[in-house]
Amino acid sequence: MTVRLVHPEGVHRVDVHHQVAVAEGSRTVYLAGQVSWDLEGDLVGRGDVAAQAEKCYLNIAAALDAVEATPADLAKVTVYIVELDEAKAEQFVVGRERAAEALGVEFQQPSTWIGVTALAAPGYLVEVEAVAVLP
């Protein structure tokens, strides 16, 4: 495994992700921000943060698969949510966990969540970008 996730002593432990990822590999993969579009570029989950989060993570898994990587190779995730609040954060976690269950993985990498006023196209509520490290 090229990425080891850590809950460090002396830092507040949160349930939704680890605070640290130690990456030991020779290739770094940068994924563009993934939104909830299908193969035709159509929005999936209009008005539904959980559905959009789920599709973002499924798209991340597909992008990783294209370079022979898996979600276990993720070292860092950045999440953008339109008008982020507590309710949307909770819905985001619901969607992320649905994707994790569908893929049979965990998404516990260090992450930063940023509230934004808008994303690139109307209707998009969630965008997730990621960095993976491969052997």
Residue-wise pLDDT for 20-29, tens only, equals 777 787 889 9
- pTM value? 0.88
Domain positions in the chain are: 3-134
The C-alpha atoms of residue 79 and residue 113 are separated, in whole angstroms, by 5
CB atoms within 10 A of CB 16: 14
* CA–CA distance, 63 with 50 (Å, rounded to integer): 20
In angstroms, rounded to a whole number, what is the distance separating the alpha carbons of residues 113 and 45? 20
Considering the domain delimited by 3-134, tell me its CATH architecture. Answer: 2-Layer Sandwich (3.30)
> Residue 133 has what DSSP assignment?
E
What are the tokens at 123? 């209707």
Whether residue 1 is predicted with pLDDT greater than 70 in this model: the reply is no
Q: What is the pLDDT of residue 102?
A: 98
Residue 53 · residue 99 · CB < 8 Å:
yes
